[in-house]
Amino acid sequence: MMPKILLIEDNEMNRDMLSRRLQRRGYRVLTAQDGEQGHVLARSENPDLILMDISLPAMDGWELTRRLKASENTKHIPIIVLTAHALVTDRAKAFEAGCDDYDTKPIEFERLSEKIESLLAEKKLS
């Protein structure tokens, strides 16, 4: 069974485009459009990996990451955060919050899928 990826993204076009591209790679994709919804799905669906935008309505990416990493049920799920701010602080903050990887928009799809595969491989090993 192909890995299940939870994509949390508030921008409809980006959400649609990314989910379709991931599906084309064969992943099963769940989508959420805000932090709250993402949180619920992460707990109920137990995805193999979470891909999330950092600036989300309802609950932002930082907060969501902290919550997921704080919970016994979800802390094993690798998280990749996506941000359009290519600034120093975001990157440091991402790792501080407990993210497993980090990428910037606009997404270079090949680079991103490498990161996804690498994290999934890591997860399988551990």
Partner 1 sequence: MNLQNLSIKGKLMLITMLTSSAALVLSSASFLIYDLISFRHLLTLDLMSQAQIIGYNSAAAMAFRDEAAATATLSALTAKEDIVSAVLYTPDGKIFAHYYPNGTPHPPTLPILSQGTGYRFEGGYLEVFRDVLLNGEHVGTLFLQSDQRQWSVRARRYSAIVGFFVFISALFALLVSSQLQRLISRPILQLENTMRMVSANKNYEVRATRFYSDEIGRLIDGFNTMLSEIQHRDTALQRANDELKTRTRELEGEIIHRKQTQEELLKAKHAAEDASRAKSAFLANMSHELRTPLNAIIGYSEMLEEETRESGKLENQQDLRKIQSAGKHLLSLINDVLDLSKIEAGKMGLHLENVEVGPMVEEMVTTLQPAIAKNANNVRVRIADDVGVMRADATKVRQILFNLMSNACKFTDHGTISLDVSQSTMEGQEWIRFRVKDTGIGISPKQQEKLFREFSQADATISRKYGGTGLGLAISYRFVQMMKGRIGVESHPGQGSTFTVYLPVQVTSEMVEAAQLDGANASSAGSAQNKTELDTILVVDDDPAVRDLMSRFLTKLGFHVVAAANGEEGLRLAREVAPAVITLDVMMPECDGWETLRRFKNDTALSQIPVIMVTVVDNEAMALDLGASNYLIKPVDRDRLAVLIEKHRVPRHPTSAESNSSSRPKEEQRPVEFEVSRRT
Q: Which is nearer to partner 1, 64 or 119 (CB)?
A: 119
- Provide the minimum distance between the beta carbon of 121 and partner 1 in the complex, in angstroms, as a whole number: 7
- Provide the minimum distance between the beta carbon of 24 and partner 1 in the complex, in angstroms, as a whole number: 7
> Tokens 């995805």, residue?
47
Q: Which is nearer to partner 1, 63 or 109 (CB)?
A: 109
- Provide the minimum distance between the beta carbon of 37 and partner 1 in the complex, in angstroms, as a whole number: 20
- 3-class state of residue 35 by DSSP: helix
Distance separating alpha carbons of residues 114 and 120, to the nearest angstrom: 10
Question: Do 111 and 41 contact (CB within 8 A), yes or no?
Answer: no
Q: Which is nearer to partner 1, 73 or 75 (CB)?
A: 75
- Provide the minimum distance between the beta carbon of 87 and partner 1 in the complex, in angstroms, as a whole number: 6
Q: Which is nearer to partner 1, 23 or 40 (CB)?
A: 23
Question: Do 6 and 50 contact (CB within 8 A), yes or no?
Answer: yes
Angle at Cα 61 formed by Cα 87 and Cα 41, nearest 5°?
A: 150
In the complex, which residues of this chain contact partner 1 (CB under 8 A)? 11, 13-14, 17-18, 20-21, 24, 84-88, 91-92, 95, 101-107, 109, 114, 118, 121-122, 125-126
Question: Do 69 and 76 contact (CB within 8 A), yes or no?
Answer: no
